[in-house]
Structure 1
Amino acid sequence: MTDVKLAIAGAQPDQPGPWTALGALGIVFGDLATSPLYTLQTVVQATGGHFTAQSALGILSLIVWTLIVTISVKYCLFVMRADNHGEGGILALMSLVGANTLRGRAAGLTFMGLLGAALLYGDGIITPAISVLSALEGVNVVTDAFKPLVMPLAVVILLLLFGVQRFGTARIGRAFGPIMLLWCVVIALLGLTGVIRQPQVLLAIDPRHAIDFLGHSGTSGFLVLGGAFLCITGGEALYADMGHFGKGPIRLSWYAIVLPALLLSYAGQTALLMERGTIQGNPFFELAPSWAIYPLVVLATAATIIASQAIITGSFSMTRQAMQLGWLPGLNIRQTSDRMYGQIYVPVVNWLMMAATLGVVIGFGSSDRLAGAYGTAVSTTMLLTTCLLFTAMRKVWRWSLPASLVVAGIFLVVDISYFSANLLKIADGGWLPLTFGAIVFGIMAIWRTGIDAVHASLGRLSVPPRRFLADLDSGRISRVPGTAIFLTKATDQIPPIMIDHVRHMGALHHNVIALTVLFEETPRVPDEERCAVELIATDFWHVTIRFGFIEIPDVAAALKRVKGLGGSIDLDKAVYFAMRDLVVSEPRASILSRWALPLFAFLYRNAVRAVDRFSLPPANVVEVARQIEI
């Protein structure tokens, strides 16, 4: 078990400043910190609202040890150690273990990573809906007069939330940390009042209460397991947002603030269950005095907006990663802050998520009906993360097989238990995020298959360098003043766009650059490794520019830093030539099935143009249409 000791030793937090930890509290822990709003409410529904002291202790023990094993140990100590050059998230983990293709030996690992990422989109649609609804429903504890207004008000809040995304979150982000700190203090104090009245809830720290409850509760215990899982539904955010804050601040916020607050909140709610024996409402709001309900609803709504904001921006970041790794078409990405690199906005993702989230809110209408849809996607992603983590233990950390099996096996037991319990929710709404995830996964697979087919077709159109260069050196190709930059995916052949240009124009510019932009399977590329230059012929260079999978490519700026080009080149006046391809089916059987080809062609046709994706000067770009058969 030496490997395990080394992992824990290497997983110790850095020495983060308190302000960084406060920022991590606001961005990373919104979902986890607001889970007390609906977790025990879901458990109440699963049990019919009837509790004995022993069953209440068993449920609390189950929640306590789920938080400890899954978040405190699995994610904070082990998963966050599997960083890809400081970046986290299931796609970064997939790249770390060397999986980025659906062919060959890595296909299974790639399938896990892509499916996990796709399912997180489904979770991103459910999270804002259930969080905002459960916060607003707190007023029902005092009066039913506002009950008909809860759903419309949730729709208005979510409309505003998605509507302000285009302005970025740099300004409002400064308030996230203090608000979440206030939220954690409030829920901890509320929980403490319940613990003081029923101190025996502290006995739940003994895991035997959880084991005894599951052993004697039969089918109802399995239903409770599905509800208890909601206490960790924001766990993936710790890993996904690691690149923004680092491991130390995230761990400090969790161990010092969020975990104690959650334990006290769940303990206080459990004390209420033990006191009353029967409860029908939401134990979170039932725990508060009546005079505090309205301020608590306001604070809870603010906290759930932060939780929703975190999952939305997380979806933007994951989209960028999938795009750069070649699993999604190029989309328009806007940088919304000149100081915070992670502050980006992806319009098409924002509006699609808004439409789906509002549809879920209107369709389900309340948080208790929506609870059945929540957790299925996340439990699947957590299971897939553990499988990829096992591979990282063996391939990246070089652990022995026994050590890897022991550690991953413990996590798998927990993950499989929750995954199985959440399968019971499929008929009650769990199908919804799974369907969203399956659609996104299908789009990813179709896009990658189509892109591979396009590259193969372009390879057949290319001309070997020797023949083209012979024509260039012999003077059969005239040269005219100016600089032309031809964007190409080819790295070892003359670009088809250059061949077409010479054939139609009968000449080539005096200075010629064949430019290839590559996206690496690492988050960032150091400046000294950004560009590579090869002199192909007189005044003819091939330049390769590399970007990491989380970087926004600025090709024009990168070109100006390239060394080794001719001193007479004026890049500000250079003309960029790019192809605008139109995909059609070959006369013979297509690589893609008949139903998939139209979808790929639609995605390919509507992918962001090179001028936008690569930050090229629009006035200097010439796009040439071309038909490609696949």
Structure 2
Amino acid sequence: MNVAATGEAQVGLPAVGHAPHGPPGHGGHQGVARLALGAIGVVFGDIGTSPLYAFRETFAGHHPLTLNPAHITGVISLMFWSMMIVVTLKYVTIIMRADNKGEGGSLALLALVSGQTKTRRWSTGIVLLGVFATALFYGDSMITPAVSVLSAVEGLGVAAPGLAGLVLPIAVVILIGLFAIQSSGTAKVGLFFGPIMLVYFGVIAVLGLLSVVQTPGILWAFSPHYAVQFFLMDPVRAFLALGSVVLAVTGAEALYADMGHFGRNPIRVSWLFFVLPALMLNYMGQGALLFRDGTSALESPFYLLAPEALRFPLVLLATMAAVIASQAVISGAFSVTQQAIQLGFIPRLRIEHTSAATAGQIYIPLINYMLMTMVLLLVLFFRSSSNLTSAYGIAVTGAMTIDTCLLAVVLFRLWRWPRYAAIPLLVLLFLVDGAYLAANLTKIPAGGWVPLLIGFIIFTLLTTWSKGRKLMIERLRESAMPMQIFIQSAASSATRVPGTAVFMTSTAEGVPHALLHNLKHNKVLHERVILLTVKIADVPYLPELERLHLETMDAGFFRLVVKYGFMEEADVPAALARVNSCGAEFRMMDTSFFLARQTLLPSEHPGMMIWREKLFAWMLRNAESAMEFFRLPTNRVVELGSQVEI
């Protein structure tokens, strides 16, 4: 990770007016109630649409349970206590306290804990775990829209069996439309997310309550006794059922990942006092319906809770909720990609801002296109939500298990919990996560291989780029001439021309290759030469006073380091506009930016295997130009090639 040191001595530079300090949406004028409503609309879409398929799959999926009262109450009890342990205890109560300056998510947690590990062995392992969790997130972000939208639209077959043949085409059209609107931004549509999800949760809670009133005996399922009894009575089937039960908590990691947008307390309030009760009422209602109607209700206990006249409106409402859940996952993929680019795990990609007011509203065309392609392929390949659930869960449970591993580092290294408190908690969490992960691994032959394959491919890409970039920087540093020697030998002999030259360099040491090539070919030096390095800190937002560090050298040479948090966007012209300690004010028409474009050469002693070296070279060739990424003026940029062996 290219992490900048903070706290260096400053040189009286004014702050860069670039990005707000702190996560967006944390204005003091916003009350907890308003933020809680927004959280209901964005954070809980994934877990909120789980009732569409989670309970049904335990009795009608790939490892179906026999439909009897003991199994129904056992499954409901497992779902309730899974929500209490995984969501309420692990994420809402504990992990959400491990924020990185207000931000959450696997990469934010990785950046937080990686600096706390003392040995290289542990540090490398933690980084790899965090990167693999990010890779699994991409697999989840492909499956979630497919299974959510498909399961919602399948309600048409329940409301009107004659329309069952239209389910697949309608789902495909909705998904294409969803990805098509990403480029225009979701700020306006987002205003309706909260109220729609509020209505959705209210409706599913009422439908569940009406069913529970008819069969109040289902309320005994709140007792953990029934979950334990289920395992004692039929341990093999109970273990296999965990692969479907875990679908009730998919989306739990979104609470942590979206913490930066809404804050810890609003998410806790909306979960404990609204979302959790609504979900449990609906699951209880579905269980009560199976008590009464048996196998005739197994087709879709979610939709059959509603009277026949209300099933079409419920299909429409559930479809909107599924679209909202998918939108949250897609937006999350954009945000995670931006973090990964800044932290050095993904090559530079074109990032478009869809809102002038909200920094977090971004659109990444390549990621959008790849997600849409994979989602449509998944829908067309699996063809039903029941088949898709066989692929669903492995990525989620894998990421949850990794979060527990990172939490262990937080408990012992950051919070310094005593062993008698930390070890029992970690044993409980690893036991639950491990059981769910093991149960989901049994789905591999039926489709679970899909998210694993996606995860390993993305993991290979992320680690290849990170290692290749590190090797390339090391090679450039090894061959770099010391700056003082260059100034003494070249500054006095070269012809100086008016203006400012900014040489972008990845390392704040030695002479940039672009500077050597420019002097070799053009035989001139500008009156003012700035060696500029952009560094990314291991915090999401950096205080303005720590933004710039300027070092004055001889003969009109200056070394400038500009630092950003991993949630911020690098804007080099804006940073230069605030520098007033190295001569005249910067004017873009008098400033030239020199960039080096590296070409990789085969090495006799490569730092990576040949196939990975070729993969890295391909990624390097297709990375977004530094000119656009750093917002440099297009008519003031000169690119100079250099060759590097890694």
- Aligned residue for 1:62? 78
- Verify the 8 A CA contact 1:44 1:280 in the aligned structure 2: yes
1:424 aligns with 2:442: yes
- Give me the whole-angstrom Cα distance separating, in 1, the residues matched to 2:589 and 2:292: 75
What's the TM-score once normalised by structure 2's chain length? 0.93
Give per-residue Cα distances to partners, 1:44-97, cap 9 Å, x unaligned. Answer: 214646422222111111101111111111100101001011100011111111
- Aligned residue for 1:236? 253
Q: How does 1:302-321 map to 2 (within 5 A)?
A: 302-321=320-339
- Aligned residue for 2:134? 117
Report the AA paired with residue 361 of structure 1: V
* 1:103, distance to aligned residue in structure 2 (A): 5.7
Report the AA paired with residue 396 of structure 1: L
- Aligned residue for 2:13? none
* 1:626, distance to aligned residue in structure 2 (A): 2.1
* 1:461, distance to aligned residue in structure 2 (A): 2.8
**Of 476, 481, 506, which residue of structure 2 is paired with 1:458?**
476
- Aligned residue for 1:513? 530
* 1:181, distance to aligned residue in structure 2 (A): 0.3
- Aligned residue for 2:541? 524
- Aligned residue for 1:281? 299
Cα 1:161–1:484, aligned 2, differ >3 Å: closer, same or farther?
same
1:150 aligns with 2:163: no
- Aligned residue for 2:371? 353
Give per-residue Cα distances to partners, 1:479-538, cap 9 Å, x unaligned. Answer: 111110000012121212111111211110001100000111111111111111000113
- Verify the 8 A CA contact 1:87 1:523 in the aligned structure 2: yes
Give per-residue Cα distances to partners, 1:516-569, cap 9 Å, x unaligned. Answer: 001111111111111110001132110000011111111111111124121254
Kindly tell me the number of residue pairs found equivalent between the two proteins. 615
1:496 aligns with 2:513: yes
1:219 aligns with 2:236: yes
**Of 184, 201, 204, which residue of structure 1 is paired with 2:218?**
201
- Aligned residue for 1:544? 561
- Give me the whole-angstrom Cα distance separating, in 2, the residues matched to 1:34 and 1:468: 63
Report the AA paired with residue 42 of structure 2: I
- Give me the whole-angstrom Cα distance separating, in 2, the residues matched to 1:567 and 1:151: 64
- Verify the 8 A CA contact 2:57 2:64 in the aligned structure 1: no
- Give me the whole-angstrom Cα distance separating, in 1, the residues matched to 2:264 and 2:580: 36
- Verify the 8 A CA contact 1:323 1:329 in the aligned structure 2: yes
- Give me the whole-angstrom Cα distance separating, in 2, the residues matched to 1:549 and 1:572: 30
1:164 aligns with 2:185: no
- Verify the 8 A CA contact 2:157 2:167 in the aligned structure 1: no
- Verify the 8 A CA contact 2:207 2:282 in the aligned structure 1: yes
- Give me the whole-angstrom Cα distance separating, in 1, the residues matched to 2:110 and 2:166: 44
- Verify the 8 A CA contact 2:576 2:586 in the aligned structure 1: no
- Aligned residue for 2:362? 344
Give per-residue Cα distances to partners, 1:398-423, cap 9 Å, x unaligned. Answer: 11222211222211111111111111
Report the identity percentage.
42
- Give me the whole-angstrom Cα distance separating, in 1, the residues matched to 2:304 and 2:81: 24
Report the AA paired with residue 215 of structure 2: Q
- Give me the whole-angstrom Cα distance separating, in 2, the residues matched to 1:104 and 1:499: 38
- Give me the whole-angstrom Cα distance separating, in 2, the residues matched to 1:299 and 1:568: 57
- Give me the whole-angstrom Cα distance separating, in 1, the residues matched to 2:114 and 2:80: 35
1:268 aligns with 2:282: no
Report the AA paired with residue 108 of structure 2: A
- Aligned residue for 1:34? 49
Q: How does 1:312-461 map to 2 (within 5 A)?
A: 312-461=330-479
* 1:16, distance to aligned residue in structure 2 (A): 4.1
**Of 163, 175, 187, which residue of structure 1 is paired with 2:192?**
175
- Give me the whole-angstrom Cα distance separating, in 2, the residues matched to 1:149 and 1:628: 56
Report the AA paired with residue 494 of structure 1: V
- Verify the 8 A CA contact 2:513 2:596 in the aligned structure 1: no
Structure number with the bigger relative contact order (C-alpha 8 A, sep ≥ 6) is 2
- Give me the whole-angstrom Cα distance separating, in 2, the residues matched to 1:19 and 1:300: 23
Report the AA paired with residue 17 of structure 1: V
- Aligned residue for 1:590? 606
User: Secondary structure of 1:354's partner?
Assistant: helix
Q: How does 1:543-622 map to 2 (within 5 A)?
A: 543-567=560-584, 569-586=586-603, 588-622=604-638
**Of 82, 91, 104, which residue of structure 2 is paired with 1:88?**
104
- Verify the 8 A CA contact 1:100 1:110 in the aligned structure 2: no
* 1:276, distance to aligned residue in structure 2 (A): 2.1
Give per-residue Cα distances to partners, 1:101-147, cap 9 Å, x unaligned. Answer: 99643111111111111001001100000000100111222332111
- Give me the whole-angstrom Cα distance separating, in 2, the residues matched to 1:68 and 1:406: 16
- Aligned residue for 1:3? none
1:259 aligns with 2:276: yes
- Give me the whole-angstrom Cα distance separating, in 2, the residues matched to 1:454 and 1:296: 56
- Give me the whole-angstrom Cα distance separating, in 2, the residues matched to 1:371 and 1:112: 25
- Give me the whole-angstrom Cα distance separating, in 2, the residues matched to 1:425 and 1:79: 28
- Verify the 8 A CA contact 2:577 2:585 in the aligned structure 1: no
- Give me the whole-angstrom Cα distance separating, in 2, the residues matched to 1:186 and 1:524: 39
- Give me the whole-angstrom Cα distance separating, in 2, the residues matched to 1:356 and 1:258: 30
Report the AA paired with residue 33 of structure 1: G
Greater displacement, 506-515 / 335-344: 335-344
Report the AA paired with residue 251 of structure 2: G
- Give me the whole-angstrom Cα distance separating, in 2, the residues matched to 1:76 and 1:395: 21
- Give me the whole-angstrom Cα distance separating, in 2, the residues matched to 1:491 and 1:175: 47
- Verify the 8 A CA contact 1:119 1:378 in the aligned structure 2: yes
* 1:602, distance to aligned residue in structure 2 (A): 0.8
Give per-residue Cα distances to partners, 1:143-200, cap 9 Å, x unaligned. Answer: 3211121111111111111111111111101000000000000000010011100111
User: Secondary structure of 2:389's partner?
Assistant: helix
Query: Structure 2 unaligned runs (5+)?
Result: 1-27
- Verify the 8 A CA contact 1:511 1:569 in the aligned structure 2: no
- Verify the 8 A CA contact 1:584 1:601 in the aligned structure 2: no
What's the TM-score once normalised by structure 1's chain length? 0.95
- Aligned residue for 2:113? 97
- Verify the 8 A CA contact 2:78 2:227 in the aligned structure 1: yes
- Give me the whole-angstrom Cα distance separating, in 1, the residues matched to 2:551 and 2:490: 17
- Aligned residue for 1:23? 38
Cα 1:571–1:532, aligned 2, differ >3 Å: closer, same or farther?
farther
Greater displacement, 135-144 / 49-58: 49-58
* 1:242, distance to aligned residue in structure 2 (A): 0.6
User: Secondary structure of 1:219's partner?
Assistant: helix
* 1:22, distance to aligned residue in structure 2 (A): 0.9
- Aligned residue for 2:21? none
- Verify the 8 A CA contact 1:483 1:571 in the aligned structure 2: no
Greater displacement, 498-507 / 94-103: 94-103
Cα 1:86–1:277, aligned 2, differ >3 Å: closer, same or farther?
same
**Of 139, 147, 150, which residue of structure 1 is paired with 2:156?**
139
- Verify the 8 A CA contact 2:137 2:399 in the aligned structure 1: yes
Cα 1:569–1:130, aligned 2, differ >3 Å: closer, same or farther?
closer
- Give me the whole-angstrom Cα distance separating, in 1, the residues matched to 2:465 and 2:626: 17
